Amino acid sequence: MAQCQRSLTILSVFVLYASISYGVLHRVNTKVPSPYMDEVFHIPQAQHYCRGHFGVWDPKLTTPPGLYLISMVPASLLSMLGPHPCSPEFLRTTNWALSLLLFWTIHGLVKRLRPAQSAVAATTLSLSLFPVSFFLHHMYYTDTASLLFVLLSYSLSLSHRHLAAGVAGFVSLWLRQTNVIWIVFIGASAALREIQQRANIVHPGDSLLGSIGQLLKWAAGMDRGVLRVMQLLLPYALVATCFAAFVHVNRGIVLGDKSNHEPVLHIPQILYFCSYTVGISAPAILPLASPRWFVRQFTVPKLVFSLMLGMAMAICIGRYTIEHPFLLSDNRHYPFYIWKNVFRRHWIFRYALIPPYIYALAALNRSLSMDTTALWRLGLALCTAAVLVPSPLLEFRYFTVPYFFVRLHIASRTTTRAVLLEALWFAAINAATIWVFINRPFAWASEPGQLQRFMW
pLDDT in tens, 283-305: 999 999 999 999 988 888 889 99
pLDDT in tens, 151-195: 999 999 999 999 999 999 999 999 999 999 999 999 999 999 999
pLDDT in tens, 382-423: 999 999 999 999 999 999 999 999 999 997 778 889 999 999
What are the DSSP calls for 68-124, one per residue?
HHHHHHHHHHHHTTSS----HHHHHHHHHHHHHHHHHHHHHHHHHH-TT-TTHHHHH
Q: Which of the four pLDDT bands, split at 50, 70 and 90, describes residue 227?
A: confident
pLDDT score recorded for residue 255:
81
pLDDT score recorded for residue 51:
87
Secondary structure of residue 452 in the 3-state scheme = strand
Secondary structure of residue 251 in the 3-state scheme = coil
- Contact predicate 423/122, CB 8 Å: yes
CA 250 and chain centroid, separation:
25
Worst-scoring range by mean pLDDT, 57-61, 257-261, 417-421?
Answer: 257-261
pLDDT score recorded for residue 409:
94
Per-residue CA distances from 273 to 269, 277, 365, 375 (Å): 6, 6, 13, 20
CA distance 231 to 239: 14
- Contact predicate 175/149, CB 8 Å: yes
pLDDT score recorded for residue 76:
80
Q: Which of the four pLDDT bands, split at 50, 70 and 90, describes residue 266?
A: very high
pLDDT, mean of residues 216-237: 86
Higher-pLDDT residue of 217 and 109 is 109
pLDDT score recorded for residue 108:
96
CA distance 456 to 396: 7
